[in-house]
Structure 1
Amino acid sequence: MPALVIDGHPDARSLTAALAQRYAAAHGDARVLAPRDLDFDPNLRFGYRERMTLEPDLVEAKRALQSADTVVIATPLWWGSVPALLKGFFDRALLPQQEYRYTKLGLVEGLLPARHGRLLLLADTPWYFVPFTGLPAQTHVARGTMRFCGIRSVRTHRMLGVKDASDATITRWLDRAERLGAADGRRAGAPQPIAAEAASSSVVATS
């Protein structure tokens, strides 16, 4: 499977979900995985002191991660981070000796085989506030999660000011996700669809 698209929003009707679907439809060989649809406990109850049994949905999700050439994560920015369910998915699915390990020198070695990654990050924060507030979720996901686990090339695409975005702006963002999906699909040699699935008219300006 060349591309795995992780939709990190708890609401299937969100703009985040629409962007994930638009990317996948344009790619030609991509699967959307939404933690909200998985049956698992997002609480890493014992840290790494004691291993929790992986639920079947997590086992399948880990297989998908291990077989993807490109990993795309679409997520809103909530309280400086990502939604709790997505964070819980990271905690439970990305494990030492499986998705990453430490060398004898204490250096991290990522074990995911994906060569390419994208982060689609949505925030209500306007662009002109970013120099003051920063985007910690970008560092958390792109560097502290994706690159940490071995995805060598990660590009971040920011959609800012979501709550006040016009219909025209939302359309541009959806079209952008479609172009990214099509470009990644061509690079991977995936069958190209004639046209990507149109966005639902129910998409509103909420991340």
Structure 2
Amino acid sequence: MKKNIVVIVGHPDSNSYCASLAENYVKVAAEKGHDVKLFKLGDANFDPILHHGHNQRQELEPDLVTIREAILWASHLVFVYPIWWGSIPALLKGFFDRTFLPGYAFSYRKNSVWWDRLLAGRSAHLIVTMDTPPWYYRWIYKMPGHNQMKITILEWCGIKPIKISSFGPLRGSSPEQREKWTQAVIKHARKV
């Protein structure tokens, strides 16, 4: 079944290993007949700071408007990013702060603690690199960055199911090991 796929690279360096993984994913998914759009946040022009919270409207830059429209078009989202300090990079967090706003990603119900999940109907895949061994990140650190992305951002807005692929430790990894991880990403892109 043909899907509309948006791939977002959350690493600020558009020539990073994360970007390479994303490019491989896009190439293979497109070869399988899916419509795929790639966005590298490191190349996007936007202020990642939500200066007034939700108290005052902050105009969206054209790059953010384009990505938001693509997310609404998409049936499947892929986020490719590193784990830094146990969580997502500041640029990716700033992207969510600026774009996943009330009225777009969610909507609070009047006089209620409940909300509507406005991005429901989409699935996601998180492709994550880290310098920590994934088993250590899971069992010792309890996966704070994965939980943030999966539970408190994407599922909170209605996006599910969410698959997570963790690759690491990246620091000190051999070219052969990186090629194995690249092949794992390619395999995921073939199955989407």
Instruction: Using structure 1 for the length normalisation, give the TM-score.
Output: 0.84
- Alpha carbons of structure 1 residues 183 and 100: separation in structure 2 relative to 1, 3 Å: same
Of residues 123, 141, 144, the one that matches 1:136 is 144
1:3–1:69 CA contact under 8 A, matched in 2: yes
1:159-199 Cα deviation digits (max 9, x unpaired): 12111222221111111111111211xxxxxxxxxxxxxxx
1:24–1:30 CA contact under 8 A, matched in 2: yes
Shift of 1:128: 4.5
Shift of 1:102: 2.3
Aligned ranges 1:121-132 → 2 under 5 Å: 121-130=128-137, 131-132=139-140
What is the alpha-carbon distance in structure 2 between the residues aligned to residue 135 and residue 164 of structure 1?
22
Aligned ranges 1:1-207 → 2 under 5 Å: 2-28=4-30, 29-104=35-110, 105-130=112-137, 131-184=139-192
Q: Which amino acid aligns with 1:36?
A: G
Q: Which amino acid aligns with 2:36?
A: A
What is the alpha-carbon distance in structure 2 between the residues aligned to residue 134 and residue 164 of structure 1?
23
1:35-68 Cα deviation digits (max 9, x unpaired): 1111111110001110101111111111001010
2:134–2:166 CA contact under 8 A, matched in 1: no
What is the alpha-carbon distance in structure 2 between the residues aligned to residue 69 and residue 100 of structure 1?
17
* Greater Cα offset, 86-95 or 132-141: 132-141
Could you list the runs of 4 or more consecutive aligned residues of structure 1 that deviate by over 6 angstroms after TM superposition?
A: none
- Alpha carbons of structure 1 residues 92 and 75: separation in structure 2 relative to 1, 3 Å: same
Partner secondary structure for residue 85 of structure 1: helix
What is the alpha-carbon distance in structure 1 between the residues aligned to residue 55 and residue 190 of structure 2?
43
What is the alpha-carbon distance in structure 2 between the residues aligned to residue 44 and residue 71 of structure 1?
23
Unaligned runs of 5+ in 2: none
Instruction: Using structure 2 for the length normalisation, give the TM-score.
Output: 0.90
Count of matched residue pairs: 184
Give identity over the alignment, percent: 33
Q: Compare relative contact order (CA 8 Å, sep 6+) and give the higher one, 1 or 2.
A: 1
1:66-120 Cα deviation digits (max 9, x unpaired): 0100001111001111111111111001101111112354223221154211011
Q: Which amino acid aligns with 1:16?
A: C
